[in-house]
Amino acid sequence: MSLMPSPEITAPALVAGKRALVADAAWASMTGALSGGVVLVAFALELGAGPRAIGLLGAIPFIAQAAQLPAMFLVERIRRRKLIGIPTITLARLLILLLAVLPMLPGSEPRLALLLLAQALISVLSSAASCAINAWFHQLLPPSELGVFFSRRLLWATGLACICTLGAGALVEHPPLDSRMLAFTLCFAGAGIAGLLSSASLYRCPEPVMDAGGPMRRMRDQLRGPFIDRDFRGLLLTLASWNLASNLVAPFLTVYLMRQLGFGLSQVTALWVISQVCNAATLLAWGRVSDRLSNKSVLAVAVPLCFTCTLGLVFVPASASPPVQFGFLAVLHALMGIAGGGIGLATGNLGMKLAPRDRATSYLAAIGLVGAVAGGLAPLAGGSLAQWFSERQLSLLVRWVSPGATREVSVFSFAHWEFLFAISALLGLYVMHAVSRIREGTEVSERRVIQEFGLEALRTVNQVSTVGGVLGNLFPFGRLSERRRRQREAP
């Protein structure tokens, strides 16, 4: 195997390449779990980061997506996606390995500044690499297998990410030598090593020769194509609104749980794992439903569920005991994990499906550009809004006045981060409207999607539980729509 494309990829080589891609996703997920997400935000809070710094930390990966523009031009000129992607992503992972030194340096403010700078460099390199790697995958994998393959790939990645995140949370909560900074050092070192193993797995995957894309065009002309393509433009609008609404709150959820509700990092990572386990447990079901029906129909069910749960964060019972609060949050995280799996799978499949195979690089780069603008603006706006709302509160009171007494009952109360959750849920209404404008084959009702998803979920349970098999035999969900249809058609 080399960094050069293969003129012909045999069936055994393709199978081996798919296994390598699964291993790549597994190692890469460990890198993300140990150096990003909850762990990264917790480290920033340990260094004294405020809402604006957290917002900037959340915006950096999206702003860095702009690096896909020159990367796209480079791919079209050199036409060696593996040669571009693997060295670039490996350099990013070497920088992650160097982050292990950061917790041991003196001074919180200099370390926070270096953390932001390092994240910017890592994100730029990762974004440039993803432009080449995504176009490579798009040509390598048959379109008919995208749903099931990516769901299996994400299943392995999510499982390992959960284990690593729980381990990182426990390590920071119970640090060796009573040093939380040493715990973060070990996390970043493990992330860097896993990232290098991910690059080694990616190296074993073959790259087909790029399809002839015609004469070289200017970057502006290449980017214009996705935006004047009516079908693809609908997808771009959906992705822009989704990134704006979801990333307005995503970077701050960990801060809300730790600072406002008082949970420890181990509890926060447990909630994250609950979300990811539910995500992983339903990925195969979402993949089969998307292959059988459509990706748009999956979004029509998953998007409303996600934003309903976001709004539910506003109503966490403030006066309840911590176990009750944790249980309420666990249910919300489970539902958001289920919805997030469907959204991630469907949007990824739509990008691959609607992009012309001979112009995949520019079309997929347009997705990155839209994500960069919307996803980059959202955390910055969220950080500024959180700073402003930190000293404000909105309450709805019901007052009962009688001759003997006056009573007041608080129906709901918004304070600080809860304003962001409510605003995100309102923006979610437009996301649902944007989903309805996507054009992808035959329209399918949300009810049928839910029925198909229920059936596929039962099939998944059947593989690990005898109870699932009993339930499937007693209550075949997939027959409900057929029976109702026969009743309507009967004279």
pLDDT band at 114 (very low <50, low <70, confident <90, very high): very high
Task: State residue 76's pLDDT score.
Answer: 79
Fill in the amino acid letter for 285.
A
How confident is the model at residue 314, as a pLDDT?
83
- 138 or 147, which is more confident: 138
Percent share of the chain, pLDDT over 70: 84
For residue 146, the model assigns a pLDDT of 67
How many structural domains compose the chain?
Answer: 1
483 falls within a domain: no
Please give the pLDDT value at position 297.
Answer: 80
Judged against a pLDDT cut of 50, whether residue 457 lies above it is answered with no
pLDDT at 10 over 90: no
Region of poorest pLDDT, from 4-8, 167-171, 184-188, 222-226: 222-226
| 369 located within any domain | yes
Q: Quick one: average pLDDT of 163-180?
A: 89
Give a yes or no: residue 411 inside a domain: no
Q: What is the dihedral of CA 160, 136, 240, 45, to 10 degrees?
A: 40
Please tell me the predicted confidence (pLDDT) of residue 410.
Answer: 74
The most confident of the ranges 3-17, 131-145, 248-262, 279-293 is: 248-262
pLDDT value of position 446: 45
C-alpha–C-alpha distance, residues 65 and 371, integer Å: 7
Quote the pLDDT of residue 7: 77
Mean pLDDT of 186-207: 92
- For residue 120, the model assigns a pLDDT of 94
CB 151 within 8 Å of CB 283: yes
459 within some domain: no
On average, the pLDDT of the chain sits at 80
In a domain, 447, yes or no: no
Q: What are the tens digits of pLDDT across the range 39-98?
A: 999 999 999 888 889 989 888 988 887 787 788 788 878 888 888 989 999 999 999 999
List, for residues 294-328, the tens digit of each pLDDT value.
788 888 888 999 999 998 888 887 778 888 999 99
C-alpha gyration radius of the chain: 24
DSSP line for 101-115: GGGGSS-HHHHHHHH
What pLDDT band is residue 189 in, cutting at 50, 70 and 90?
A: very high
Q: Which of 412, 428, 356, 421 is nearest to 389 (CA)?
A: 421
Distance (Å, rounded) from C-alpha 123 to C-alpha 64? Answer: 6
Whether residue 119 is predicted with pLDDT greater than 90 in this model: the reply is: yes
Please provide the distance, in angstroms rounded to a whole number, between the alpha carbons at the two ends of the chain. Answer: 65
- 432 within some domain: no
Of the two residues 390 and 166, the one the predictor is more confident about is: 166
Where is 399: in which H helix or E strand?
strand 393-401
**Encoded tokens for 81:** 């996606």
- Looking up tokens 């292959």 gives 291
* Confidence class for position 473, pLDDT limits 50, 70, 90: very low
Q: Any bridge partners for residue 393, and if so which?
A: 415
pLDDT in tens, 339-377: 988 888 888 778 777 777 667 667 777 887 787 888 889
The pLDDT value recorded for residue 387 is 84
Using 50, 70 and 90 to split pLDDT, how confident is the model at 183?
very high
> Percent of the chain scored above 90 by pLDDT?
19
What CA–CA distance (Å, rounded) separates 63 from 119? 11
Q: For residue 303, give the amino acid letter.
A: V
Task: Domain of residue 168: give its range.
Answer: 11-389
pLDDT digits (tens, 9 = 90+) for 410-445: 777 777 778 888 899 999 899 888 888 777 655 544
Q: How far is 343 from 477, CA to CA, in rounded Å?
A: 23
Maximum Cα–Cα distance across the chain: 90
Instruction: Say which residues have a Cβ less than 8 Å from residue 268's Cβ, sequence separation at least 6.
Output: 38, 42, 169, 254, 257, 258
Q: Averaged over 459-466, what is the pLDDT?
A: 36
Confidence of residue 394 (pLDDT cuts 50, 70, 90): confident
pLDDT band at 5 (very low <50, low <70, confident <90, very high): confident
Supply angle C-alpha 87, 114, 184, rounded to 5.
Answer: 85
The CATH number of residue 308's host domain is 1.20.1250.20
Tokens standing for residue 392: 């404000």
What pLDDT score was predicted for residue 111?
92
Q: Is the pLDDT of residue 149 over 80?
A: no
Higher-pLDDT residue of 329, 358: 329
**pLDDT at position 15 over 80:** yes
The pLDDT, as a whole number, for residue 101 is: 93
Flag whether pLDDT at 145 surpasses 80: no
Which pLDDT value is given to residue 395? 80
pLDDT band, residue 276 (cuts 50/70/90): confident
Give residue 197's pLDDT. Answer: 94
pLDDT confidence band for 221 (50 / 70 / 90): low
